[in-house]
A = this chain, B = another copy of it.
Amino acid sequence: MPHTYDYPRPALTVDCVIFGLDDEGLKVLLIERGIEPFEGQWAIPGGFVAPGESVDAAAVRELQEETGLKDIYLEQLYTFGEPDRDPREHVVSVAYYALVNLIEHDLEASTDARSAAWFSVDDVPDLAFDHNQIFDMALTRLKGKVRYQPIGFELLPKKFTLTQLQRMYEIILEKPLDKRNFRKKVLSLEILKALNEIEKDVAHRAARLYSFDERAYRRLQRKGVHFAI
């Protein structure tokens, strides 16, 4: 069904860089393209924006269609608008990124995608289009943002130990942190709720569990308090 406009216009897509964390380190979610161009090559999940659908909504929809992930909070990264980034025609892409807890989400490839899989961020293959550039920007943004905004709690289970939290920061920032200083710092922010619960089934002293106190965080954010970890 053809559609006609008075003036030509570029096509518009969304792409979603999804980061996850497991024991091995930081991962990124890629799909194997099922259609041309770049059929069979790995790419960031995404697709075309339909008119009448907000761009944010398109990103959420495409992510679910291609990978099965839902209820993900996507944050806008950047818009890539070079005319030659797609060999077919001028396609402008709004890129998003998000962090998810690897364990809580199951993957299932579908529309336009042969398969979906997690790749270590240190081992990302040659991607379709300019997706390596998009991925690089997302990783840079993630590293920059994680230092002064308490994102990253998405990557952990609801209840976590301070050591798990520290390990997450060490993986993302790619550097070791001092245990005592880290605990001092993160507790002084007062955005963690100490639970009356401890770890189970560990072969050593069980650590206290904490949860992220989103209300306390928002309260501080409204006051304009600055964070840094």
Copies of this chain held together in the complex: 2
The segment from A28-36, A73-81, A102-110 that touches chain B is A73-81
Closest CB in chain B relative to A213 CB, distance in Å: 24
The answer, yes or no, to whether A187 is at the interface (CB within 8 Å) is no
Contact A9 B11 (CB under 8 A): yes
The chain B residue with its CB closest to the CB of A226 is B147
The segment from A51-59, A63-71, A153-161, A200-208 that touches chain B is A51-59
- Give the interface centre of A11, A54, A58 by most chain B CB atoms within 10 Å: A54
In the bound complex, residues from chain B placing their C-beta under 8 Å from that of A6 are 1-3
Give the CA-CA distance A89 to B94 in the complex, in Å. 19
In the bound complex, residues from chain B placing their C-beta under 8 Å from that of A9 are 3, 9-12, 48-49, 51
The answer, yes or no, to whether A125 is at the interface (CB within 8 Å) is no
Contact A4 B2 (CB under 8 A): yes
In the bound complex, residues from chain B placing their C-beta under 8 Å from that of A56 are 81
Other than the given A9-B9, A54-B82, A55-B82, 18 more pairs (CB < 8 A) read A2-B4, A2-B5, A3-B4, A3-B7, A5-B5, A7-B48, A9-B48, A9-B51, A10-B12, A12-B92, A51-B83, A52-B83, A53-B90, A54-B83, A76-B78, A79-B79, A79-B94, A92-B94
